[in-house]
Structure 1
Amino acid sequence: MAATAALLLVLVATGCTDTPKPPDKRSPAPDVHIAAVGDMNPEQNTDPDSPSGRNGAAITRLVQNNEIDAFMGLGDFQYSTAHCEDYVHYWTPLWGGTKPKLYWVSAPNHDWEPGRNEDLAKYMNGQCEGDAQKAAINRERGFIPNGQPYSKDFGNWHFAFLSSALWRYEKADAAAATDWLDKDLGAAKAAGKNLAVVYHEPYFTSDTAEHGRAGDQKPWIDLMWKYRVRLTLSGSQHNYERTCPVNDADKCVDDGMTAFQVSTGGIDTRPFTSKPKYIAKRFSDTRGFLRLTLHDDGSFDWNFVSTTGSSTDSGTRAAP
């Protein structure tokens, strides 16, 4: 027994045991830098000093200087009922420089209405005569039909992109997109990703004279809450809003989603006609775009960059 104990001491002292090592920790993913805005260019506008022109130029500089990893196009790119020639003649001169980092969703009416204007998908894939440049997501995936959902990882963040136009025009496809979202978010959550969703018509929003909440999208909101999505990005209202972290019952909760509604790309703004309790910040007197810095641990910083007007918004949300 004494000899055995002595031998064990020798093995420990010389490091010759098979003691398990702790597992290596994953190295943090780098920060992700994003710009986002929707409702961009008025009909037949090519004025570089217009609100739209200023925003397009500012985001283009961020793309050219490699200051952002992605530009999230939140829908309604070119008013009013845009076809190939409209995107090429009006959107490209002011916003075409954002395409190398553009991830987009098709919005109702102004971007896509089946049988009326269906060219956004072609334009983003470089298939419109006069502009062969592809958006970033199209360079990666090829042609993406209007309304088709997709997802993309940026660092440790997983983004799902949804076209809210499905609820207007293709109800069966909206149901299929709901099933897709359930599987997509579930898999990303299981993989340890921080979750975000991009879509055009907001659910968490103040009313305007033109629009209220897009209530038919509640099945998507329920899934976002189920998987504890950290943030959402939308447009449509022609103003700016940010919510408290909110759940699917309109309550401010610590683990809710922060919903940004950023439709200040260049279209005339609209005043608010109601104020839900979950709205933490809003304004309708300023055009500009949102910048986000997303950290590996699920925390993020935001800053609204004013380009026409003086209102702004900035802050930080801590990690869960």
Structure 2
Amino acid sequence: MNRIIWSCVIALTVFCSCKNQSEKPEQEKKKETPEVVSKEAVKPIFSFSFVGCNRIDRHNQSPSNPSTANMYALDRMYEHMNNLAQKPEIFFFLGDLVLAESDTIHLNSQLNAWKKVYENNPISQSSIELVAVPGNHEMLTYTPSGEIPLARSTDVWLRYMKDYMPTSRKTAPDTLGLDNRLSFTFTKHNVGFVVMNTDTYNANGLEGQVPVNWVNQQVEAFKKDTAIDHIFVVGHRPYYVGGNPDTGHGGLPQGGQLWPTFEENRVVAMLSAHQHDYERWQPINDALGGGTYQIVAGHGGSVNNRHVPHSPPFFGYSLITVMSDGTIELDTQGYCTGDTYLAPVPKNPMTSRDKTTLTWAKNPKGFPDPYEGCQ
């Protein structure tokens, strides 16, 4: 009899245990069996491309090319970008589209011709949105003592390039004597962009000026915005060149007032040109182990002034893809240049020159050698 009673007790205990297990809250069950996201579920949210410095040198000017663009490099970039299976939604042209750097007459005629070249290219009818960013050759004039702001250059830029600035942009207010109409912010998907005119017109005759306080405020505002997961700062001039700060003509004089804010608010990268070369650096931040990237994408078709008369090792553009799992992929495309920077080289294929994930920690891939594979 005791055996029967004990058997019933055991059976009842097991039944209750199983019942309690099956009735555990759904939330607890999920904790016990964490969801594993397969790689197949990770998809691109969107991509954008960027490059700058396509203008020709002064001694290569010709009436047959009123746009002063390196036409072979320009057409080849447009064609390659437009033929991608997944086209970028935005293409940032990071300044020095034209030669100019003299007076508003030349700036006017060259931008007018450049716009006609763009409108006659199939890319202008594609789904790719052009966002044009001015460079020093559009904003400054050359004098024997150096480059200084060109009066009314902003008006000329807006005459031709206003159509290539996002309609949803929020323009910086004019402050401290700066004409900030060409600095703005906008968002796309879960990304916030701060676009700087890095040669903002000012009456003080200073090159390389930006609305510092406004830029820092916009970066901080994007960081607090729960809809924004990634922040990029875009402008013609870089702050880091060759991994080192450059506050002279080759870089950004006020960069030291900006970079700490970029690091503190985890800006993914500052995207620039100006140097006629390609560089990817992640200035070392000991506290964070890596930090914000400086990507110099000045490999758009201009002669490399540091190695005259030789051209950069390759011309092309860079592509960034934002993935659904939060990773950010960089793919820099380029073709090896010829004996001169204007020479057509149809047999030189467009290939990936630098492909990596933009990690916040120190990038394990290190820095690329753009000369590898090109003479």
TM-score (norm 1): 0.70
Q: Give the Cα–Cα distance (whole angstroms) in 1 for the partners of residues 97 and 284 of structure 2.
A: 28
State yes or no: 1:156 paired with 2:171. Answer: no
Q: Give how far 1:305 is off.
A: 1.0
Q: Give how far 1:71 is off.
A: 0.4
Gaps (5+ residues) in structure 1? 1-11, 23-27, 126-133, 274-282
Match of 2:214 among 157, 180, 184: 180
CA contact (8 A) 1:269 1:285 kept: no
CA RMSD of aligned residues (A): 4.3
Distance 1:155 1:141, change over 3 A: closer
Tell me the amino acid that sits aligned with residue 164 of structure 2.
A
Q: Give how far 1:105 is off.
A: 2.1
Match of 1:38 among 52, 60, 71: 52
CA contact (8 A) 2:210 2:254 kept: no
Q: Give the Cα–Cα distance (whole angstroms) in 2 for the partners of residues 271 and 48 of structure 1.
A: 18
Q: Give how far 1:86 is off.
A: 1.3
CA contact (8 A) 1:29 1:156 kept: no
Larger Rg: 2
Distance 1:252 1:301, change over 3 A: farther
1:261 equivalent in structure 2:
296
Q: Give how far 1:195 is off.
A: 1.2
1:290 equivalent in structure 2:
318
State yes or no: 1:53 paired with 2:69. Answer: no
Q: Give the Cα–Cα distance (whole angstroms) in 2 for the partners of residues 167 and 254 of structure 1.
A: 37
State yes or no: 1:230 paired with 2:268. Answer: yes
Taking the TM superposition and a 5 Å limit, the aligned residue runs for 1:233-312 are 233-244=271-282, 246-247=284-285, 253-271=288-306, 284-309=312-337, 312=353
CA deviation string 1:186-214 (max 9, x = no partner): 12111252111001111111399x95432
CA contact (8 A) 2:48 2:319 kept: yes
Tell me the amino acid that sits aligned with residue 77 of structure 1.
L
Tell me the amino acid that sits aligned with residue 109 of structure 2.
E
CA contact (8 A) 1:38 1:263 kept: yes
Q: Give how far 1:150 is off.
A: 1.1
Name the SS of the counterpart of 1:224 in structure 2.
helix
2:92 equivalent in structure 1:
72
Distance 1:93 1:194, change over 3 A: same
Q: Give how far 1:238 is off.
A: 0.6
Q: Give the Cα–Cα distance (whole angstroms) in 2 for the partners of residues 95 and 40 of structure 1.
A: 17
Choose between structure 1 and 2 for higher RCO, CA contacts under 8 A separated by at least 6 residues.
Answer: 1
Distance 1:83 1:175, change over 3 A: closer
CA contact (8 A) 1:46 1:53 kept: no
Distance 1:221 1:171, change over 3 A: farther
2:371 equivalent in structure 1:
none
2:164 equivalent in structure 1:
135
Tell me the amino acid that sits aligned with residue 111 of structure 2.
Y
TM-score (norm 2): 0.61
Q: Give the Cα–Cα distance (whole angstroms) in 2 for the partners of residues 169 and 241 of structure 1.
A: 33
Distance 1:175 1:72, change over 3 A: closer
User: What's the % identity of the aligned pairs?
Assistant: 18
Q: Give how far 1:157 is off.
A: 1.5
Tell me the amino acid that sits aligned with residue 55 of structure 1.
M
Q: Give how far 1:229 is off.
A: 0.8
CA contact (8 A) 1:41 1:52 kept: no
